[in-house]
Amino acid sequence: MTKNIKKAIVVGAGIGGLATAIRLQSSGFAVTVFESNTYFGGKLTAFEESGYRFDMGPSLFTMPQFIEDLFKTADRNIEDYFQYQKKETVCNYFYEDGTRFSAKADVKQFAENAEKAFNVDEVAIINYLERSKKKYDLTASLFLEKSLHKFQTYLSKDTIKAIFQINSLDINTTLHAYNAAVFKDDKLVQLFDRFATYNGSSPYQTPGIMSMIPHLEQYFGTYFPKGGMHSITQSMYKLAEDIGVKFQFNTLVTEILVENKTAIGILENGNKHFADVVISNADVVPTYRKLLSKQKAPEKTLQQPRSSSALIFYWGITKEFPDLDLHNIFFSEDYKTEFDYIFNKKDVFEDPTIYVNITSKEEKTDAPKGNENWFVMVNVPSNTGQNWDEIIQKTKKNIIAKLSRVLNVDFQNLINFESVLDPRKIESNTQSYQGALYGASSNNKFAAFLRHPNFSQHIKNLYFCGGSVHPGGGIPLCLLSGKIVSELILND
């Protein structure tokens, strides 16, 4: 290695950190990733027990082009590392009154089925999705693919075009108000309201521009990765190793070293490691509170309200359910109250919406024969000191009662394995502040601009990636954060 090769240190081996490391290594940097856990992947990991395999974190895979782009950047064939297949059914929806709706990936079929299930004309569905696409096309290059905190971003033709059509983005109304104005059927409104949860927000507070999210599912599709969601980070880790990225696991970084307002490296266990650039993939709050404790913190940014968290039950189920698919939603009868509990009362409503992910529908080996592996999740508030042991028991009882009613089965007796993940464990396992899944919430029309930028405005050569900074949480946005950071570094 010559002295002219620049060095980069990435703190954290989550999906954003892995993406950044791959891009920088591919651009000629010598990259080392420091990870406090013994494993890579952050929230996107897995475990096996009692014959069941479970993905622990994100369970929805869409916009695979962002993964493909990583392998193109590294000049490697993605098929040698990662395979996936498109789903014909996006999600199955269940309502307490017996209504069931299977959302198909094909837009026309989706609209036709919606007309049969709800009080809506299929043309209204197609028009809604077309407006969803328009919002995405107008804003993606600004809000998702570039730094919002660089002046040159606002000089592009795409930005000027979006500004001139700002009234069509519905930023001055809530997602729920927008959906309720379009559709008369409360069940259909609820279906489209749920997309607020994709960034940990409330449909009654997040702006109407979030109605572009359904386009991502319907246009780009949803997919199942062979081997489960964990294979995403497994493939990224293998790619990173193959192109020369170095990893140090079980290594706790205690400080980002700063001299003369410039990041020069990191400190771990008394050892100093120097680099030309430092990138934190850790949550931005503990990054400042712990790793940059000697530096002035952007308090207004760090004190923004957190997104929702999750309470997840990993259940081994001794029965197969033919009418369920990979993704399934069992709706609350009172959606507004559910979100009031999450964001205002900081508690869990007695009738929560339940998401059930069953990967054994696609990978039979994920569960013993005749059984299924159920990833059962409800949205919950971030951890602010609630009695989670009590909440877990109460919520488990309510979930079992709801599933028993809707599926007409004695569900309690079907569970032969259980593991639980709550906001406390999410926080301790991933250092996500308060266990929030997406960093700050997006319950504000200015939320995109209030997120922490991908670079430090006061410390040179210090950058940030991952779900707690721009452009946000979730697999596609974390991958994009890695792209934004690498481009900023190369341009700087």
Helix and strand element counts for the chain (H, E): 16, 20
Instruction: Tell me what pLDDT residue 165 has.
Output: 58
The per-residue pLDDT for 4 is 83
Residue 29 resides in a domain? yes
Quick one: tokens of 32? 């080392």
Quickly state the pLDDT bin for 138 (edges 50, 70, 90).
Answer: confident
**Position 113 pLDDT exceeds 70:** yes
Residues 241 and 216 in one domain: no
The DSSP annotation for 130-162 comes to: HHHHHHHHHHIIIIISS-TTSGGGGGSHHHHHH
Of 220, 238, 272, the residue that ends a domain is: 220
CB-count burial class (<10 Å; 0-12, 13-18, 19+) for 384 = exposed
The candidate with the shortest Cα–Cα distance to 62, out of 288, 351, 381, 327, is: 327
Task: Verify that 35 and 115 share a domain, yes or no.
Answer: no
Pair 264, 184 in one domain: no
Residue 175 lies in a domain: yes
**Total of domains in the chain:** 2
**Residue 190 covered by a domain:** yes
Short-list 1, 58, 8, CA closest to 34: 8
Contact in structure between 431 and 36 (CB atoms under 8 Å) = yes
Confirm whether 320 is domain-assigned. Answer: no
d(CA 339, CA 341): 5
- Looking at residue 143, its pLDDT comes to 64
Q: What is the pLDDT of residues 399-449, one digit of tens each?
A: 999 999 999 999 999 999 999 999 999 999 999 999 999 999 888 776 656
CA distances from 94 to 124, 402, 403 (A): 22, 11, 10
What's the pLDDT band for 1 if we cut at 50, 70, 90? very low
Which structural domain range is residue 23 located in? 7-46+229-298+452-491
pLDDT per residue over 17-33, tens digit each?
A: 999 999 999 999 999 99
Instruction: Tell me which of 203, 220, 237 is where a domain ends.
Output: 220
Type and span of the H or E element at 25? helix 15-26
Q: Which residue has the tokens 């949860």?
A: 197
Q: Is the pLDDT of residue 220 over 90?
A: no
How far apart CA 373 and CA 368 sit, in angstroms, is: 9
154 and 198, same domain (yes or no): yes
Q: DSSP per residue over 77-109, as a string?
A: -GGGT--EEE-SEEEEEE-TTS-EEEEESSHHH
On whether the pTM is more than 0.85, the answer is yes
Number of Cβ within 10 Å of residue 225's Cβ equals: 22
- Given 168, 197, 220, the domain boundary residue is 220
Domain of 481, CATH number, reads: 3.50.50.60
CA separation for the pair 463, 456 (Å, rounded): 6
Answer yes or no: is 459 within a domain: yes
